[in-house]
Structure formats: C-alpha cells, structure tokens
Amino acid sequence: MLLIAGLGNPGSQYARNRHNIGFMAVDAIHARHRFSPWVKKFKALIADGTIDGEKVLLIKPQTFMNLSGQSIGEAMRFYKLALDDLVVIYDELDLPAAKVRIKAGGGANGHNGIKSIDAHMQGLLGGKDYRRLRLGIGHPGAKELVHNYVLGDFAKVDNEWLDLLFSALSDNLAYLVKKDDNGLMNKLTLALGGQQTTTKPVVKDTGAKPVPKAQSHIRQARQNNNNAPSSVIKLPASGPMADMLARLFGKKDN
C-alpha cells in the first residue's frame, strides 16, 4: 500500500492558501481517480483506491499543519507501513511557483508540518527517509513576510499553472505508485515547461543608489560626440579600438 499525504489546514477559510497546496493536490487526485468517498479516521480525512493494481490511501490530516505527524503516524502504525510506503505532498517556499521536486529524506527547511512528521516517523520507524513531493510556491523575498504569504490565497491568475500541475500529477500518478520518481519528474516538467508565474520577490529599499550598467566604447563615444560631460567618458587613447572610434566619430572638415 502507498500512503499519499497532502498537507494543509482544515476549514474553508484556508482552502485557497498557498500553505494548502498539498490538500489541493490530493483533492485533484481524488477527483481524477475512482477513490472511495472521504471518511474521518486517524484524526484525518482518508479515501482509498487502486492505481495500476496497487492499493493507495489518500490522507488529509485535520489536526492543523503543525500536528500533521499525529494523523500520519496513526495511519502508518495501523497499516504497518514502512518509510518508503509514504509520500508527503506539501508547499515549498524555496522553489519558484510551478516548480516541483521529489526525493526521499532531507530536512524540514522550516516547514512545521514536515517537522511534525519527521518527529513521528523518527520515533515510529527510526528514520525520516520517506518521499517528499515539494510543490513550489515561491518566496515573498523577506523572512518577516513569510507567515502572511503562505497563509495568503493564490491569485486567480495562478490557476493556469495550478491546473496544469494537478492534472499532470493526477494523470501520471502511476509513476508515483511504482516509485519511479524520475519518470514522474519528466512528466511534470514537460507539462509545466515554460509556465509564467505571478510570484515576484519583494526587494527591500536599502537607500543605496543602483550601480550603473557598463557601457560599450561605441556608446560612450557617441555620447562624447553629442557633447556629454567629459567626466563620464573614458575612451581608449591608442590602439585598434581608438583608431576605429576615430574613424566612426571623428569630426569632419567643413
């Protein structure tokens, strides 16, 4: 059996939050395939189905993000599952929006849901090397903006790449079940290739003046020819470049 956990916070007020992209992905999988209706168990909503001949259990913890490990730990113990039978889908700040990564193990990178699951898996199975499917949501650009950003809703224009992501993940779920992570990544990358996203970094104003871009010798010579201030013009005095600039911009006889 494969246990696919989507992370998020319960309640309609959180439904479109960036932090809830794990819930959104699992909901899309549930809608695409013939899973059972959602039922309450393990302090979570669960649904079961079969993908490519393998039994799959979807789980959405209802304990709020910071306690996600409670629900997942209970389900893992009940079904006597191993670490490699678990896939967790969640939001990743350090990936640009519409970018996806999957690997076994790794750090929590400040994600409280993953911290909770790590703690429960470490105590239950003696390790943290379960598979993690990280869905990029982008970063607001400053640490103090993160809380409001992840608990903020996706913009309507994000629907284009979100729909592509969820459709590609749902259509290629068999790769996840077969533990063919490279095959899944190839399919997702192909589906999401070239997507434009709305996430833009926030740049703090430090008061420093921007550094001017370097100009070519030809542009500087053109400015000089148009009586630009000599203090900003630094042209070569000799050599091939000096000879060429003299031919191009040298003053003609009247």
How many CB atoms sit inside 10 A of residue 144's CB? 8
Sequence-distant (≥ 6) Cβ neighbours of residue 231 within 8 angstroms: none
Please check whether residue 88 is in contact with residue 131, taking contact to mean a CB–CB distance below 8 angstroms: yes
Residue at token pair 């500087």: 220
CA 9 to chain CA centroid, Å, is 18
DSSP calls for 201-244: PPPP---PPPPPPP--HHHHHHHHHTT--GGG----SSSHHHHH
DSSP 95: S
Q: 139 an active-site residue? A: no
The residues pairing with 2 across neighbouring beta strands, listed in sequence order, are: 56
Write out the two tokens for 39. Answer: 């039922």
Please check whether residue 57 is in contact with residue 2, taking contact to mean a CB–CB distance below 8 angstroms: yes
Catalytic residue among 19, 30, 111, 139: 19
- Nearest CA to 4 among 130, 129, 150, 187? 130
User: Which runs of consecutive H residues, i.e. helices, occur in 80-158?
Assistant: 112-125, 146-150
The residues pairing with 8 across neighbouring beta strands, listed in sequence order, are: none
- Nearest CA to 64 among 81, 40, 44, 42? 44
Q: Which residues are catalytic?
A: 19
